[in-house]
Amino acid sequence: MYGVRAVAFAVPVGVRVVDAAAYSQQGEIAAAIPFNDSNGRAYFGLWLTPGQHGLARASGRIGSGTANGTAWSVTAYLGPWGICYKTSAVGTPAVFCPLTPSDLDSGGLSGYTERSPSLSVAGGHAPASAAWVIVSQPNGTTTKIWPVTVGGQKLFAFQPQTGPKPPSWTAYDNSGHVVRWPAG
């Protein structure tokens, strides 16, 4: 599907998935350790090549607030699966785990959005040199956000406004200069 090979498998209720491996005729080509949430679901993010190490395990709340009378919060979970975001914004906790490590490798921004009929929550991963992020909303407003460092990564969450296009963001360093990525 969309040029990506996918596989599905059944897991008995209450059984945690420890890892998965992909093989070619020459042997193992990648392995993944999933993020297992408290509801017993396994979320696969990064696939690591033999000998490659993932992120060290860490977690922390990266944003919270109240919108339209609904409280929301986002917690980031880092580990060999990459970065997974768990949000309370949609009533029952929702989890999102990006599938590529490009934002970790290049220091670029990546994001996610969780939506319910009454509330949306979005966020992303900022470059290490970012001191703050300016979010430009589709309705013309801007919001200044200070990323939270979790496990050595700078992460942030916010409530996006609705509009014809998604919000965009720009990262700035302590001097107020736009952070360029990849560096160089």
Name residue 6's amino acid. A
Query: C-alpha dihedral over 151, 173, 107, 52, to 10 degrees?
Result: -40
**155 pLDDT above the threshold of 60:** yes
pLDDT in tens, 79-99: 999 888 888 765 556 787 776
Mean pLDDT of the chain: 82
Burial class of residue 107, CB neighbours in 10 A (0-12, 13-18, 19+): buried
Check residue 30 and give its pLDDT. Answer: 92
For residues 101 and 59, what is the distance between their CA atoms, to the nearest angstrom?
18
Helix (H) or strand (E) holding 105: helix 102-106
Mapping DSSP to helix (H, G, I), strand (E, B) and coil, where does residue 103 land?
helix
pLDDT in tens, 29-80: 999 999 998 877 888 888 899 999 888 999 999 999 887 777 888 899 999 9
Check residue 184 and give its pLDDT. Answer: 44
For residues 107 and 104, what is the distance between their CA atoms, to the nearest angstrom?
5
pLDDT in tens, 143-153: 999 999 999 99
| Main-chain dihedrals φ then ψ at residue 88, nearest 5 degrees | -100, 10
DSSP character at residue 102: H
